[in-house]
């Protein structure tokens, strides 16, 4: 079976009228008009109209939509409204047949709910909106890498099978590892901190795992995190890094992903910087004005963040959280030890990122571990690194799937993850 092609559909243009082309794609539509038929064929670059006549009509009789064909034909001008050119087929080969009916209609004429689409995800990608979301995800990843490399960060890969918790004991997936207890990493926290000793500025983009029984549109058991860690930077410095990254990503995608924005139906608007900074205490004051009963030290609930998000639509930082609410590795504010040198980056009610300055004195880390009922013995491999010349450092972790949901304007992060994992969903 010959399978090569000479052209992608986007390259079959008015410039090559009269030429022979060989191209392949999926049958999106099929209309028979007497002794003639019109096929619309899609590949990843676009849509082409093909005119089929004479003996070839028999070949495509009964051909189901989404079957894969290879077409040899001549490029000619067309009167069709939706196309600039068409291809008059001289040969059609059926390379792969699709069943009828398909489990979902990828063209979207018949709406399928998200569960059905996720169960048939590969086919769902034949829908231009879905495909555009994942093309956009590719461009977002590309511009994140560019932004961080421009800020002199070095990309690293840390282990996902680990021997002790990186974010404390809760939400850990355990697994048996050759007779030993192992876990799936919740974040690269400990490794990225250690790497500041050798590489100073590092970043990682990878999957991490949280065994949370959450059923929201913003939590998954497996999510993609963008993490950075930087020596000689304070939390205010890494806030500038994330702000630049967000603006870079919006600028790049808003100017380079025009057709993706059209197919998705959401225009990407570059956010204004600098982002607003609201302290935790200011947030409490705002909540009290809304008659919410909150005291210093209380975590901000989803309902609280919805109120604050309404007051501050778009991106803003929430800073200076109480130490009691922060993980063991976060540095206290030396002038007011009840407060931490930390921040969350919010988009309305949605937490997009959290980060801060880290402790680099191992004795302080040990006492913080004990305060949080964690056993310093389980962190020995990590703590010894702090005796080898650990620089002061800061960093953050950003949920890539949440960023994508913001950029594409979808409510549920499952839309922007190929095969989402949640308490109910382990397959496909
Ligand atoms: P945190 O636990 O806040 O911080 O996670 C950082 C960011 O990751 C995203 N995120 C998730 N996204 C989808 N599903 C989940 N279950 C999920 N959990 C987290 C969020 C969140 O803001 N080590 C620290 C970061 C640091 O200080 O460097 C950490 O993991 O967008």
pLDDT tens for residues 13-70? 999 999 999 999 999 999 998 899 999 999 999 999 999 998 889 888 889 999 999 9
Same domain, 155 and 211: yes
| Enclosing domain of residue 285 | 122-416
In this prediction, residues 366-388 reach a mean pLDDT of: 95
> Is 109 contained in some domain?
no
For residue 196 and ligand 1, the question of a CB distance below 6 A is answered with no
Q: Are residues 77 and 156 in the same domain?
A: no
* Local confidence band at 165 (pLDDT 50, 70, 90 cut-offs): confident
In angstroms, what CA-CA distances link 235 with 46, 188, 362? 45, 18, 19
**Are residues 79 and 171 located together in one domain of the fold?**
no
> Is residue 149 classed as helix, strand or coil in its secondary structure?
helix
Rounded alpha-carbon distances, angstroms, from residue 29 to 76, 102, 308: 20, 14, 48
Sheet with strand 174-177: strands edge to edge:
161-162, 180-184, 174-177
Residues 92 and 143 in one domain: no
**Position with higher pLDDT, 384 vs 170:** 384
Q: Over the range 298-327, which residues count as b (16 or more CB within 10 Å of their CB) and which as e?
A: bebeeebbebbbeebeebbbbbbbbbeebb
Pocket of ligand 1 contains residue 401 by CB under 6 Å? yes
What are the φ and ψ backbone dihedral angles of 261, each rounded to 5 degrees?
Answer: -60, -40
Across the chain, how many H-helices and E-strands are there?
A: 12, 18
**Which tokens go with 233?**
């930077």
Q: Are residues 368 and 317 in the same domain?
A: yes
pLDDT of 148 over the 80 cut: yes
DSSP state of 18: T
Mark whether 195 and 254 lie in a shared domain.
yes
Is residue 101 situated within a structural domain? no
**Tokens representing residue 351 in the block:** 């937490």
Residue 104, in any domain of the structure: no
State the helix-helix crossing angle for 280-289 and 302-311, rounded to 10 degrees: 90
Tell me if 110 is assigned to some domain: no
How many domains, the chain?
2
Task: Give the Cα separation of 158 and 238 in Å (integer).
Answer: 21
* 347 CB within 6 A, ligand 1: no
Task: Let me know whether 57 and 191 are in one domain.
Answer: no
Residue 364 CA to residue 338 CA, distance in Å, equals 14
Give pLDDT, residue 120.
97
User: If pLDDT is split at 50, 70 and 90, which confidence band does 174 have?
Assistant: very high
Same structural domain, 263 and 308: yes
107 lies in a domain?
A: no
The CATH number covering residue 45 comes to 2.40.50.140
Q: Per-residue pLDDT for 4 more than 80?
A: yes
Query: Atom 10 of ligand 1 has which residue's CA nearest to it?
Result: 399
Please, which pLDDT band fits residue 227 given cuts at 50, 70 and 90? very high
In three-state secondary structure terms, 365 is helix
Range with the poorest average pLDDT among 4-18, 98-112, 188-202: 98-112
Among 171, 239, 397, 405, name the best residue to mutate to test ligand 1's pocket (greatest count of ligand atoms within 8 A of Cβ). Answer: 397
Tens digits of residue pLDDT in 390-425: 999 999 999 999 999 999 999 999 999 999 999 999
Distance CA 385, CA 117 (A): 47
- pTM of structure: 0.96
Q: How far apart are CA 180 and CA 220, in angstroms?
A: 26
Distances from the Cα of 324 to the Cα of 18, 134, 292, 331, angstroms = 73, 39, 21, 11
Q: Which residues pair with 339 in a beta bridge?
A: 322
Q: How confident is the model over 347-356, as a mean pLDDT?
A: 98
> Which pLDDT tens digit goes with each residue over 280-291?
999 999 999 999
First CA to last CA distance, the chain: 30
pLDDT digits (tens, 9 = 90+) for 244-302: 999 999 999 999 999 999 999 999 999 999 999 999 999 999 999 999 999 999 999 99
Handedness of CA 151, 206, 271, 279 (dihedral sign): negative
List, in sequence order, every residue forming a beta bridge with 346; answer none if it has no partner: 316, 351
Return the residue whose CA atom lies nearest to atom 30 of ligand 1.
187
396 C-beta closer than 6 A to ligand 1: yes
Q: Is 95 in a helix, a strand, or coil? A: strand
Residues 92 and 156 in one domain: no
Task: State yes or no: pLDDT of 168 exceeds 80.
Answer: no
- Same-domain pairing of 383 and 299: yes
Rg (CA), the chain: 27
Asked whether residue 370 carries a pLDDT value surpassing 80, the answer given is yes
Q: Pick the atom of ligand 1 nearest to 188's CA.
A: 23
Q: What is the DSSP string of 121-144?
A: HHHHTTSHHHHHHHHHHHHHHHHH
- What is the pLDDT confidence band of residue 188, given thresholds at 50, 70 and 90? very high
Do 58 and 179 belong to one domain? Answer: no
**What letter would DSSP give residue 330?**
B
Q: Is 210 a pocket residue for ligand 1 (Cβ < 6 Å)?
A: yes
Q: Which pLDDT does position 59 carry in this prediction?
A: 84
Cα 407 to Cα 132: distance, rounded to the nearest angstrom: 12
CB 70 within 8 A of CB 26: no
pLDDT for res 61? 84
Q: Whose CA is nearest to atom 12 of ligand 1?
A: 399
Q: Which residues contact 34 (CB under 8 A, 6 or more apart)?
A: none
CA distance linking residue 274 with residue 254, whole number of Å: 19
Please calculate the CA angle 98-100-102 and round it to the nearest 5 degrees: 80
**Residue 188 sits in a domain of what CATH number?**
3.30.930.10
Domain termination site, one of 96, 111, 137: 96
| pLDDT on residue 211 | 96
- Say yes or no: 25 and 165 in one domain: no
- The pair phi, psi for residue 352, each rounded to 5°, is -95, -30
Give the pairing of strands 68-77 and 161-162.
unpaired
Which tokens hold the place of 383?
A: 């703590």
Q: Quick one: which of 369, 341, 372, 334 has its CA closest to 355?
A: 341
* Percent over 90 (pLDDT), the chain: 93
Spatial CA neighbour of 234 closest among 393, 396, 397, 398: 393
In a domain, 116, yes or no: no
């Amino acid at each position: 079976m010959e399978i090569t092609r000479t052209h992608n559909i986007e390259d079959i243009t008015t410039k090559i009228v009269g030429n022979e082309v060989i191209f392949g794609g999926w049958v999106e539509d099929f209309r028979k008009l007497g002794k003639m038929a019109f096929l619309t064929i899609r590949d990843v670059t676009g849509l082409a109209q093909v005119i089929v006549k004479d003996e070839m009509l028999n070949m495509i009789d009964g051909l189901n939509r989404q079957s894969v064909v290879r077409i040899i034909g001549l490029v000619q001008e067309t009167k069709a409204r939706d196309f600039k050119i068409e291809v008059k087929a001289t040969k059609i080969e059926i390379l792969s047949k699709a069943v009828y009916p398909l489990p979902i209609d990828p063209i979207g004429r018949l709406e399928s709910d998200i569960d059905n689409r996720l169960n048939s995800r590969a086919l769902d990608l034949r829908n231009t909106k879905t495909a555009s979301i994942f093309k956009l995800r590719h461009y977002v990843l590309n511009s994140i890498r560019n932004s961080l490399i421009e800020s002199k960060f070095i990309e690293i890969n840390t282990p996902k099978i680990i021997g002790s918790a990186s974010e404390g004991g809760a939400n850990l997936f355990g697994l048996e590892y050759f007779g030993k207890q192992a876990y799936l990493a919740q974040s690269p926290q400990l490794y990225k901190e250690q790497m500041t000793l050798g590489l100073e500025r590092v970043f990682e983009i990878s999957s991490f795992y949280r065994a949370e029984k959450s059923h929201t549109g913003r939590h998954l058991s497996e999510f993609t995190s963008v993490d950075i860690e930087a020596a000689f930077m304070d939390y205010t410095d890494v806030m500038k890094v994330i702000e630049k990254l967000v603006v870079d990503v919006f600028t790049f995608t808003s100017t380079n992903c025009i057709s993706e924005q059209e197919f998705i139906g959401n225009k990407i608007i570059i956010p204004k910087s600098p982002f607003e900074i609201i302290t935790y205490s200011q947030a409490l004051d705002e909540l009290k004005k809304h008659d919410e009963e909150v005291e210093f030290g209380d975590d901000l609930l989803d309902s609280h963040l919805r109120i604050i998000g309404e007051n501050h639509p778009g991106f803003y930082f929430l800073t200076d959280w109480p130490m009691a609410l922060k993980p063991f590795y976060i540095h206290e504010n030396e002038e007011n030890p009840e407060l931490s040198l930390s921040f969350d980056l919010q988009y309305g009610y949605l937490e997009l990122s959290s980060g801060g300055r880290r402790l680099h004195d191992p004795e302080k880390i040990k006492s913080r571990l004990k305060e949080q009922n964690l056993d310093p013995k389980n962190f020995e491999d990590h703590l010894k690194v702090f005796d080898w010349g650990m620089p002061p450092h800061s960093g953050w972790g950003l949920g890539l799937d949440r960023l994508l949901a913001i950029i594409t304007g979808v409510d549920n992060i499952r839309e922007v993850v190929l095969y989402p994992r949640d308490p109910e969903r382990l397959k496909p």
